[in-house]
Amino acid sequence: MSATQHPKPADAATLTGAEVVLRALKEQGVEVIFGYPGGAVLPIYDALFQQNAIRHILVRHEQAAVHAAEGYARSTGRVGCVLVTSGPGATNAVTGLVDALMDSIPVVCLTGQVPTHLIGNDAFQEADTTGITRPATKHNYLVKRSEDLARVVHEAFYVAKSGRPGPVVIDLPKDILINKAPYTEAPTEAHRSYRPVTEPDAGAIRRAVALLKGAKRPVIYAGGGVINAGPEASRLLRDFAKLTGFPVTNTLMGLGAFPADDPQFLGMLGMHGTYEANLVMHGCDVMLNLGARFDDRVTGKLSHFAPHSKKIHADIDPSSINKNVKVDVPIVGDAGAVLAALLACWQADETPQDKPAITEWWRQIDAWRAKDCLRYRQEGKIIKPQHAVKRLYEITRETGRETFITTEVGQHQMWAAQYFGFQQPNRWMTSGGLGTMGYGLPAATGVQIAHPDALVIDIAGEASILMNIQEMGTLAQYRLPVKIFILNNEYMGMVRQWQELLHGGRYSESYSAALPDFVKLAESFHAVGMRVTDASDLDRAIREMIAIDKPVIADIAVDPKENCFPMIPSGAAHNEMILGPGQEGGVAGVTDEGKVLV
Partner 1 sequence: MQRTATIAVLVENEAGILARVVGLFSGRGYNIDSLTVAPVDEERRLSRITVVTSGTEMVIEQIKAQLDRLVPVHKVSDLTREGPHLSRELALIKVVGAGDARIEALRLAEAFRARVVDATTESFVFEMTGNADKLDAFIALMRPLGLAEVCRTGAVAIVRGPRGLHA
Ligand X SMILES: Cc1cc2nc3c(=O)[nH]c(=O)nc-3n(C[C@H](O)[C@H](O)[C@H](O)COP(=O)(O)OP(=O)(O)OC[C@H]3O[C@@H](n4cnc5c(N)ncnc54)[C@H](O)[C@@H]3O)c2cc1C
Task: List interacting residues with partner 1 (CB under 8 A).
Answer: 1, 3, 130-131, 134-135, 138-139, 142, 144, 159, 163-164, 192-194, 317-319, 321-323, 326
Through-space distance between the first and last CA atoms of the chain, rounded to whole angstroms: 39
Please identify which residue in 409, 444, 573, 588 interacts with ligand TPP, judged by CB under 6 A.
Answer: 409
**From ligand X, Mg ion, partner 1, none, interface partner of 254 (C-beta below 5 to 8 A by class):** ligand X
Whether 189 sits among the annotated catalytic residues: the reply is: no
Residue from 102, 157, 161, 174 carrying the catalytic annotation:
174
Among 168, 222, 463, 532, contact with ligand TPP (rule: CB under 6 A): 463
Hey, which residues between 413 and 432 contact ligand X (CB under 6 A)?
A: 413-414, 432
Contacts of 386 (CB under 8 A, 6+ apart): 374, 376, 378, 415, 418, 419, 562
Q: How near is the Cβ of 135 to partner 1 at its closest, in Å?
A: 5
To the query of whether residue 413 is one of the catalytic residues in this protein, the response is: no
- Confirm or reject binding of residue 96 to ligand TPP (CB under 6 A): no
Residue 313 β-bridge partners: 289, 330
Q: Which option in ligand X, ligand TPP, partner 1, none does residue 104 bind, with CB closer than 5 to 8 A by kind? A: ligand X
461 binds Mg ion (CB under 5 A): yes
Q: Give me the least distance between CB of 318 and partner 1, in Å please.
A: 5
Cβ 94 to ligand TPP, closest distance in Å? 12
- Is residue 124 flagged as an active site residue? yes
Q: Could you say whether residue 410 binds ligand TPP (CB under 6 A)?
A: yes
CB of 138 to partner 1, least distance (A): 7
Three-class secondary structure of residue 195 per DSSP: coil
62, 126, 462, 471: the catalytic one is 62
Provide CB contacts within 8 A for 264, sequence distance 6+. 241, 242, 245, 246, 247, 248, 258
Give the Cα separation of 46 and 50 in Å (integer).
7
Min separation Cβ 89 and partner 1, Å: 21
**Is 224 an interacting residue with respect to ligand X (CB under 6 A)?**
yes
What does the alpha-carbon distance between residue 500 and residue 171 come to, in Å, rounded to a whole number?
45
Among 271, 467, 492, 494, which one carries the catalytic annotation?
A: 494
- Say whether residue 463 binds ligand X (CB under 6 A): no
CB of 139 to partner 1, least distance (A): 4
Residue 386 found at the interface with ligand X (CB under 6 A): no
CB 492, min distance to Mg ion, A: 6
Known catalytic membership, residue 174: yes
- Yes or no: say if 445 and 71 are a contact pair by the CB < 8 Å rule: yes
The Cα 143–Cα 116 span in angstroms is: 9
Q: From edge to edge, which strands make up the β-sheet containing 167-173? A: 55-58, 32-35, 80-84, 107-113, 167-173, 139-142
Using an 8 Å Cβ cutoff, are 407 and 430 in contact?
A: yes
CA 554 to chain centre: 23
Among 433, 442, 551, 586, interactor with ligand X by CB under 6 A = 433
Q: Confirm whether 1 is a catalytic residue.
A: no
Binding partner selected for residue 463 from ligand X, ligand TPP, partner 1, none, CB under the kind-specific 5 to 8 Å limit: ligand TPP
Among 181, 215, 287, 495, binds ligand TPP (CB under 6 A): 495
Element (H, E) at 112: strand 107-113
DSSP codes of every residue in 32-62: EEEE---GGGHHHHHHHHT-SSSEEEE-SSH
**Secondary structure class of 16 (helix, strand, coil):** strand
Q: Which of 411, 418, 445, 575 contacts ligand TPP by CB under 6 A?
A: 411
Binding mask 432-451 for ligand TPP (x = CB under 6 A): ---xxx--------------
Site for ligand TPP in 40-79 (CB under 6 A): none
Reading phi first (left if > 0) and then psi (alpha if -120 to 50, else beta), residue 132 is in: alpha
SS3 174: helix
Which of ligand TPP, Mg ion, partner 1, none does 494 bind, CB closer than 5 to 8 A by kind?
Answer: ligand TPP
495 interface partner picked from ligand X, ligand TPP, Mg ion, none, CB below 5 to 8 A per type: ligand TPP
Query: Candidates 86-94, 192-200, 346-354, 481-489 — which segment interacts with Mg ion by CB under 5 A?
Result: 481-489
State phi, psi for 176 to the nearest 5 degrees: -65, -30
Tell me which DSSP letter residue 574 carries: G
- Which one of 124, 199, 381, 523 is the catalytic residue? 124
Taking Cα atoms as reference points, which of 199, 509, 518, 505 lies closest to residue 337?
A: 199
Of 262-270, 358-366, 460-468, 513-521, the segment contacting ligand TPP by CB under 6 A is 460-468
Least distance in Å: CB of 452 to ligand X?
27
- Strand, helix or coil for residue 563: coil
User: How far is 373 from 388, CA to CA, in rounded Å?
Assistant: 17
Smallest gap from Cβ 417 to partner 1, in A, equals 29
> 348 contacts which partner out of Mg ion, partner 1, ligand TPP, none, CB within 5 to 8 A by kind?
none
| Chain mean position to CA 527 | 27
Report the run of H or E that residue 528 belongs to, with start and end.
strand 528-532
Say if residues 167 and 157 touch (Cβ distance below 8 Å).
Answer: no
* CA distance linking residue 34 with residue 44, whole number of Å: 13
3-state secondary structure 400-454: CCCEEEEECCCHHHHHHHHHCCCCCCCCEECCCCCCCCCCHHHHHHHHHHHCCCC
Shortest distance, position 385 Cβ to ligand X, whole Å: 14
Binding interface with ligand X (CB under 6 A): 103-104, 164, 223-225, 228-229, 251-254, 268-273, 291-293, 295, 297-298, 315-317, 320, 334-335, 409, 413-414, 432-433, 435, 494
The catalytic residue positions are 62, 124-125, 174, 494
Binding interface with Mg ion (CB under 5 A): 461-462, 489, 493
